[in-house]
Structure formats: C-alpha cells, structure tokens
Amino acid sequence: MLPGIGKKSAMRMAFYIVRQDKSYGLKLCNDIEQAVLTVTNCRRCGFISEHELCEICQDSQRDKTKLCIVQESKDIFVVEQSRSFGGYYFVLDDINETNIDRLRQLVDSHQSAEILFAISPSLANDSFMLFVEDKLKQFDIKFHKIAQGIPTGVGLENVDILSVAKAIDGKMTI
C-alpha cells in the first residue's frame, strides 16, 4: 500500500489499469521505474529533483535573502502552490550536524536575512525552531513562522481550542 491510499482505492486503481490497453499499464510501469531511477534530492536544499540542483535552486530570479525551512519535501509543493513565497527552501527533516552545517552554508552563501519556518504548529516543532535559531545565532537573521488560527470556511465548533486561542492571540485590525 501507498500512504493515503486505502485498500478500496488501491483496488479501484488496479482494476482501472488492467482494463486499459496493455500499453497503458506498461507505460505506467516504465514511468514509475524512470522516476525511481532518476529522481533524487537536490544537493543544496533537499527538494526532489532529476538534476543535481532542483529547478528552484537554479532560479536566479528568486530572492536569495529569504529562506523557507520545511520538514518534508512535499511541503515545498504546498508553499509553491500558494504563490506567497519567492525565496529559496531548505528541507530540514533531521536535526543532525551534517544538515545544520548544510543549512549554515546556504544561509552564509545567500546572505539570508529572513527565515520562514513553514512547519505545522506543535510544542515539539516550537522546540525544533528554537534549536535551529540557536544554531544560526551567528547570522543577522529575522526568524518567522507561519501564522496559525482558524482555517477559511471552517466553523468555530469544528476547530480545536488551541487553534482558537492562537487565532485570538494573533487577531488583526480590520
């Protein structure tokens, strides 16, 4: 099984594939094989890429002074879809000295002035952010984290108490 795909969905997909022309299934197998063989992690930021550097790291039009730290590559897709961030990324999925050194090198080479943590709110992740801030204290950087609160279109009765409290604390003037 694949994450997010249950038994019923997997069955529907399997039946769909076998009912198609044989070339459809063979092409799908070939595409999966090619992805497994060619997709790797960008050596600079850790995002997925078919090359040594991903498309984002190769884009010279991005703001080098802004860096967004995520914990999983897939989070970059979400931030990119929002079209609200124009800087570079760094996937920090494990806090070890190798990754912290890679992060320091990126911050230094880009002369990063702002770091945005695009990380789900939790006590553990707050500790994660404080740890990273401490490891980068030698740089003159403004640290930010994504706002939290009430999702658009969701009634208050369907929101947990902590999210309501954070939304009230982060209230804005209208």
| pLDDT at res. 41 | 95
Q: Which is nearest to 47 in space by CA: 102, 1, 89, 16? A: 89
Q: How far is CA 75 from CA 68, 70, 78, 87, 150, in A?
A: 10, 6, 5, 14, 20
Please state, in angstroms and rounded to a whole number, the distance separating the CA atoms of residues 115 and 65.
9
pTM, two decimal places:
0.81
| pLDDT at res. 162 | 80
Annotation: CATH topology of 58-145? Dna Topoisomerase Vi A Subunit; Chain: A, domain 2 (3.40.1360)
- The list of the chain residues with pLDDT below 50 reads none
Q: Are 103 and 92 in contact (CB under 8 A)?
A: yes
> In the chain, what are the domain boundaries?
7-38, 58-145
| pLDDT at res. 156 | 74
| pLDDT at res. 160 | 82
| pLDDT at res. 121 | 80
Q: How far is CA 15 from CA 24, 27, 85, 117, in A?
A: 13, 16, 40, 42
| pLDDT at res. 174 | 60
| pLDDT at res. 173 | 66
Query: In this predicted model, what pLDDT tens digit does every residue of 112-124 receive, in sequence order?
Result: 999 999 998 888 9
